[in-house]
Amino acid sequence: MPLVNRMAARLNRHPIGELAIRYLPETLFCLAAIAALFLLHDIPITHDVVWQFWVARQISNGSVLYRDIWEINPPLWFWSALPIHHAAAWLHIPPLRLLVAVVIGTGALSALLTGHLAGLSSPFPRLAMMLLILWLVVVMPIYDFGQREQLALIGALPYAALIARRSMGTAIPTALAVLIGTMAAYGFALKHYFALIPIMLEIWLIVRKRSQWRAIRPEVLVLVIGALIYGLAIIAFAPAFFTESVPMVRAAYHGYESSWKMMFLRPWFLVWAFMTAFFLTFGGALGKKANPLVSTLLIVVVGFALAYFLQRKGWLYHSIPVTGAFALALGVRLGMVDLRRPIPLVIGPMMLVLPLLMPFLTGQYFNWFRDEIDPILTTVPKGSAVYIATADPMWGWPTVEDRNLIWPSRLSAFWMIPAIAHGEVIGPNPAPLRLLGKRILIEADQEIRCSSPTLIFFERRKNYIFQPMSFNVRDFFLRNNNIRSYLLNNYDELKPTRWLYIYRRVTPAYRALNDPRCPDFKARIS
């Protein structure tokens, strides 16, 4: 990096050098972002994001979210996939490849905005910060690329930098504040847990500014107006989210929860503990003497950490924004003058390396379930329907899309099975959970009869800690007399694999597409 400073010194000697030096870090950074796009454009994409774009395709074909497709997540994530889906069709490129470009582009924009607002006048520190941010928001989450937590982090970082500048009384152009507010509004709206972050930042700003605090600011107006528009849009276009999805989540989504022990026994929790210890030891987190950007970034860390624990899943992608914001806060802290002492300058970079190495530990997305199910699906012609009755979506996704098969179910997976199993075997088994179990069987019977799937799979193994070992998923579905008789009359049971029961259709397929109760889901066009 001293090369950057030498280049800057030489350029300063020429009349046009001042302009060139001003934007040299940004120029080099943009080249790095283009290189990232070139290297990452074809990375494998996680099953949840593949499902997101499957939903977007079905919505484009006339399906109604929360009626024809049962989703537990709010609609914004799926709605935001629609422009990419249509743009990709117009450009004749796969939508997931366009998604990669969009995420890298917005990640680079986030880094540019944050670097600009950080107020670093020297070229090297500014370039180093932007490259660090690009790594944290684009490369570090590579295993779960495109997940909501990654997108929320992209929007949160420039917003934290903007609030830090507000605390210093710096004038911010309205257009810049609106742009940052728009990015933040989208990111914070992806999950209701994230709404804590702008509230916490605003409280910090009130305490910091006191009588000089002003509520009416462009970014605040964008957040408030965006929240109102989003709320009204759900009521107008997806009211079933409140009447159908939310009750199902309340009844059964706790089946995906991890134990508190497993929540803490994660490698990223150790990284958080080390960075927390660093700030407790060397200070600089809060207070009037602290760098405002460090303070706002640590507030973002706390907000995302609360979301991590409130969701209580312990999944890798839930940790991404905590690790990313924490690492950036540490990076900014290490650049401060008061830390130019031997001990923190040795310990700090060692701790910063830990989150930077995470993508090398996780690698790109890899679905180990495919080793078992792919050899079976290779025997199925493209355009065929397959029915996969499992609690884990990784059995079907992204395999079904990759093989151009029809997914006839309203669900990406039977996520309610662990809770139903726990309720039946261990208890308690409240009425909403029992009713959901009965409804699932009725819907499964209808979906199977509507699609006449070539193959039907039932999960054999316990897949979540909440699900008792004694619960048999296949027996649960075969309680329905219609499903049992349909299998008996139309399917042969094949030799099971280690984790799957398999049934192959032996009678001619009949797809009752004229029945209005039957969903008409489309396979991907190869």
Q: Which residues contact 39 (CB under 8 A, 6 or more apart)?
A: none
pTM for this prediction:
0.93
What residue numbers bound the domain in which 480 lies?
370-505
Half-sphere exposure of 223 (CA within 13 A, CB side): 23
Within-domain flag for 389: yes
3-state secondary structure 205-267: HHHHHHHHCCCCCHHHHHHHHHHHHHHHHHHHHCCHHHHHHHHHHHHHHHHHCCCHHHHHCCH
Q: What is the pLDDT of residue 301?
A: 98
Q: Stretch 405-430: mean pLDDT, rounded? A: 94
Query: 55: helix, coil or strand?
Result: helix
Within-domain flag for 437: yes
* Residue 464 pLDDT grade (very low, low, confident, very high; cuts 50, 70, 90): low
Within-domain flag for 466: yes
Asked if residue 90 has pLDDT above 90, the reply is yes
Asked if residue 203 has pLDDT above 60, the reply is yes
Cα distance between residue 337 and residue 284, in whole Å: 11
Cα distance between residue 320 and residue 399, in whole Å: 25
Q: Stretch 179-198: mean pLDDT, rounded? A: 97
Q: What is the pLDDT of residues 427-463, one digit of tens each?
A: 899 999 999 999 999 999 999 999 999 999 999 976 6
Query: 455: helix, coil or strand?
Result: strand
Cα distance between residue 386 and residue 518, in whole Å: 15
Within-domain flag for 247: no
Q: What is the pLDDT of residue 317?
A: 95
Asked if residue 277 has pLDDT above 80, the reply is yes
* Mean pLDDT, the chain, integer: 91
**Other CB atoms within 10 Å distance of the CB of residue 445:** 18
Q: What is the pLDDT of residue 441?
A: 97
Q: Is the dihedral of CA 511, 512, 518, 522 positive or negative?
A: positive
Within-domain flag for 151: no
Higher pLDDT, 109 or 3: 109
Q: What is the pLDDT of residue 509?
A: 79
Within-domain flag for 399: yes
Q: Token pair of 525, please? A: 């066009």
Q: What is the pLDDT of residue 288?
A: 73
Q: Stretch 402-416: mean pLDDT, rounded? A: 95
Q: What is the pLDDT of residues 309-323, one digit of tens each?
A: 999 999 999 999 999
Cα distance between residue 197 and residue 193, in whole Å: 8
Q: What is the pLDDT of residue 523?
A: 66
**Other CB atoms within 10 Å distance of the CB of residue 154:** 28
Within-domain flag for 292: no
Q: What is the pLDDT of residue 18?
A: 61
Asked if residue 52 has pLDDT above 80, the reply is yes
Q: Which residues of 266-276 are buried (b: 16+ CB within 10 A; e: fewer)?
A: bebbebbebbe
Q: What is the pLDDT of residue 148?
A: 98
Q: What is the pLDDT of residue 78?
A: 98
Within-domain flag for 468: yes
Asked if residue 39 has pLDDT above 80, the reply is yes
Q: What is the pLDDT of residue 513?
A: 54
Q: Stretch 210-232: mean pLDDT, rounded? A: 95
Task: Give the DSSP letter string of 276-340.
Answer: HHHHHHH--SSSTTS-HHHHHHHHHHHHHHHHHHHHT---HHHHHHHHHHHHHHHHHHHTSGGG-
Q: What is the pLDDT of residue 488?
A: 97
Higher pLDDT, 7 or 134: 134
Percent of residues, the chain, with pLDDT higher than 90: 78
Q: Stretch 229-249: mean pLDDT, rounded? A: 96
Structural domains of the chain, count? 1
Instruction: Put the strands of the sheet holding 500-505 in their side by side order.
Output: 386-389, 455-459, 500-505, 491-493
Asked if residue 1 has pLDDT above 70, the reply is no
* Residue 15 pLDDT grade (very low, low, confident, very high; cuts 50, 70, 90): low
